[in-house]
A and B are shown apart, each in its own frame.
Chain A
Amino acid sequence: MKSNHKIIFSGPVGAGKTTAITSISDIPTVRTEEAASDETKDLKDTTTVALDYGAIILQDDTRIHLYGTPGQKRFDFMWEILTNGGIGLLLLIDGSDSNAINNLKFFLSSFKNFINKTSVVVGITKQDVNKKYNLQDYQEVLDKGLPVVPIFEIDARSKKDVSLMVETLLYTLDPKISI
């Protein structure tokens, strides 16, 4: 079954985007060159930059596309095209990078329009490797008031952690989803 539902993974290089997609994808994660979906075909014409692609395949065969943006900031022109129509953003920040707080600010502001229209969940990765900041330090970057942006310490290699981010993303979009 064809669908245009997609979840966007973004964050700096090495934050764990490819790993996170692989953790929850029902198909092997591929580069866009191999991905068979309409919007990625369009993208191929405009750029040679590779995106990560994975998918959740529902029982009725609906595909939920999982896209990882290229991490390099010089490709941010692509983000607008890519996020168009997306369900929401999972933002991964490498917590072992001393620039992590600034990276969080940068990505939140780069995706501001998309986030305002949809929702975002932040995952701070590699806290097990070298925890540079506490969660409170990240929370201080956020705007006060509602919505409160979810920030969790996660390991991109953990399916449980990445699933928690997806679950949170969906419930922030609609707290009344029943399963």
Chain B
Amino acid sequence: MNIQHNSKLKISLNNLDTITQNTLKFFFKSKLCEKAELFINDDNANVLIIDLDRHYNKEIIPNLKKNNQYVIFLHNEMNTPISEENTYNVTKPVQVKYLKQQISFISQRINDTEKDDIVSGKENTKSITTTAKHVHSKPSSQPFGLINNKSDTQNFKNNHLDMALKKSTESSTLNQYKAHKHVGSNRDINPDNPEELKKIYHNPKKYLYHHLVQAVKLGKNNKTDILIKTLFGNLYFDYNSQNILHSFNKAKMRYFRSSPLFIETKIVKNSLSEKSKKEYTISQNAESLIWQSAINASKGRVPLGTSLTQTIEMTSWPNFSRLLIFRYVIQIAAAWSTHHMSLLDTASQLKIPQRYIFTLYNAMLAIESANINNVINNTTKLNSDKRKSVFSKILSHIFNH
């Protein structure tokens, strides 16, 4: 391997799925084009990015050190990372921050090696010993060039790429999956740890969605309109149109949906003339507003007292084609629609972070399409269909096109 000083790092994406590949291409093009040159399936590159969970050329590994080459493995949390010399690991969902960090490490290694070679007048005979580093390790020193400054790294935080590099595929074309925004950032909790347990509960009464739910229930039961009085102004449930009327602009509404400011809310039966209703400037479908508000309030949490171990009863499918949805929503709902499973069990059987499951449950509970009222408790184990790999290809296909 001949690396010229100051030349671009050659990075190859080896046998990644199309979406990850395209996303990384975009990432390199927009962020690293001056530092790195990108190749596809080139075993001779300086750095190979390989999906550990997919088929790859295992013969490369023993020769890495000899060739002064490096591998970054993208791997599933469940999969044990490879700890060979010159290998690095990044867990999926891939966070760009970490990927960048690993590339920085490597370029520094390569740079150091070159300097050593130049000093000692050798040609690539010396390689440095590196032990596999896991993504959560901190860089020991600021590596050259790649991370220009702190804010550059931070810019990635809310970037769609953070999201787009999920698990192995995430399509930016499948715009309805704007998951990162919707499920918060809670890590999976250990239910036996009371401190951790606290983090996944919220008090619905503090949030707007709870009062909207109550208003709609009262309105439907009595076939009347309902006035919803909050400290910040009124909202109105119009029974006939099944719409919520209000005059909050978008930014305010976004803030209200997710803020615990509504404990002082009152709901009362009401009937305004059509003319007075017009004074409200905005009218939104009640169900979709409740749905979205319940997601925004949840951020990976469920109502206080929700059992994590009793089975969920799903009573109907939400109208997902017309509601805000995020990653894994269909998969989780499909599991609940065919099997009795608890919240924790869903997360572990599907290998999906708990916050996705909790957020979806909170929203489905709010629109009354799921609950944990009846103790069924005969949890069923999910089996795999023998056509799983074809199904997986069909899904990739429809997300890609």
Contact = CB atoms under 8 A, between A and B. Distances in A.
Interface string B313-354: 011110111100000001111111111100000000111000
Given A5-B387, A171-B330, A179-B169, A139 B316 contact: yes
Contacts of A62: 390, 393
B321 A153 contact: yes
Interface string A143-179: 0001111111110000011011011101111111111
B104 interface: no
B388 A177 contact: yes
Size band of the interface chain A makes with B: 35 or more
Contact of B338 (A24, A153, A175): A175
Nearest to A150: B317
B353 to A, nearest CB: 14
A170 B397 CA distance: 13
- In this complex, the interface size class of chain B, counting residues with CB under 8 Å from chain A, is 35 or more
Contacts of B321: 123, 152-154, 160-161, 164
Interface string B373-398: 00000000011110110111111111
B168 A179 contact: yes
Contacts of A150: 317, 333, 337
A27 interface: no
B18 interface: yes
A160 B399 CA distance: 9
A60 B384 contact: no
B167 interface: yes
A167 B340 contact: no
Contacts of B337: 146-150, 172
A179 B395 contact: yes
B176 interface: yes
A71 B160 CA distance: 43
Contacts of B17: 179
B392 A5 contact: no
A105 to B, nearest CB: 17
A87 interface: yes
A72 to B, nearest CB: 27
Nearest to B349: A176
B281 to A, nearest CB: 24
Contacts of A175: 331-332, 334-335, 338-339, 350, 382
A58 B386 CA distance: 18
A139 B395 CA distance: 26
A172 B331 CA distance: 8
A56 interface: yes
Nearest to B341: A175
Contacts of A146: 314, 337-340
Interface in B229-269: none
B178 to A, nearest CB: 14
A167 B350 contact: no
A58 B397 contact: yes
A46 interface: no
Given A174-B391, A175-B382, A148 B350 contact: no
Contacts of A171: 330-331, 333-335
Nearest to A168: B330
Nearest to A26: B401
Contacts of A5: 387, 390
19 contacts: A5-B390, A56-B394, A56-B397, A59-B396, A146-B340, A151-B317, A152-B322, A153-B322, A163-B399, A168-B333, A171-B333, A172-B334, A173-B391, A174-B382, A175-B332, A176-B384, A177-B391, A177-B395, A179-B399
Interface of A: 3, 5, 24, 26, 56, 58-60, 62, 64, 87, 123, 135-136, 139, 146-154, 160-161, 163-164, 166-168, 170-179
Given A56-B397, A167-B398, 16 more contacts: A5-B387, A58-B393, A87-B391, A146-B337, A146-B338, A148-B338, A152-B320, A153-B321, A163-B399, A166-B394, A168-B330, A174-B387, A176-B350, A176-B384, A177-B392, A179-B399
